[in-house]
Structure 1
Amino acid sequence: MCLGIPMQVVAIDGFNAECEARGVKRNVSLFMIGENEVEVCDYVMVHVGYALRKMTPEDARLSWELFDEILAVAGE
C-alpha cells in the first residue's frame, strides 16, 4: 500500500521545494508536476520525496483528519 502525505510548500528552488506538515520539513521534488505549477503556500501530495499533485487546502485538511481517525482506532 502506498501512502501520500499532504504537505504545504514553504519554499521553491527550481524543481525542488521545501515542504512542511505538522512541524516536519522535507525537501521534495516537483519534477512530477512541473516547477511552475506550484507556488509557495500551495498544498501537494507527497510520496517518497516527490510531489505527485497539487491539492486544495480543504483536501489536505480532510486527509489529515482521516489519518488522525485511523491512528486513533489503531491505538485503541
Structure 2
Amino acid sequence: MCLGIPGEVVELLTDHPDLAKVDVSGVRRTINIGLLVDEGVRCGDWVLIHVGFAMSRIDEEEARSALEFLETLGKAYQDEMDALRDSRID
C-alpha cells in the first residue's frame, strides 16, 4: 500500500530550487517540490508527499488530521515511515 504522507517544509535548498527538506513525524528527508513550483512553497508549509514528491500543499489542520488517521493504520503507516527513513534524494 502506498500512502500520501503530510510533511512540513523546514528548508528550501537554494542550490536546487526543486528540492526541499521536510519533517514527517520527526523524520527529515529531502523531497522534490518541482510539481508545486507555481504554488510558491515556503518554509512552514505543509505538503502531501508520495514517493519523494510533494503532490499538493495542504493546511496544517488537514496535515495533523491526516497524520492522526495514518497512525491508526498500524503496519501500513509504519511501512511507509520505514520507506521514508530509507529514502534519499541527493
Tell me if TM exceeds 0.5.
Answer: yes
Q: Deviations over 1:13-68 (max 9, x none)?
A: 21110001111011011111117521101000011111000000001001011112
Q: Which residue of 1 aligns with 2:46?
A: 43
Q: Map residues 27-66 of structure 1 onto 2, 5 A cutoff.
A: 27-34=30-37, 37-66=40-69
TM normalised by structure 1 equals: 0.85
Q: Partners in 1 of 2:35 and 2:61 — Cα distance?
A: 22
Q: Partners in 2 of 1:37 and 1:52 — Cα distance?
A: 13
| Number of residue equivalences | 72
**Once the two structures are aligned, what percentage of the paired residues are identical?**
32
Greater helix proportion: 2
The gaps in structure 1 that reach 5 residues or longer are: none
TM normalised by structure 2 equals: 0.72
Runs in 1 of length 4+ with deviation above 3 angstroms? none
Greater strand proportion: 1
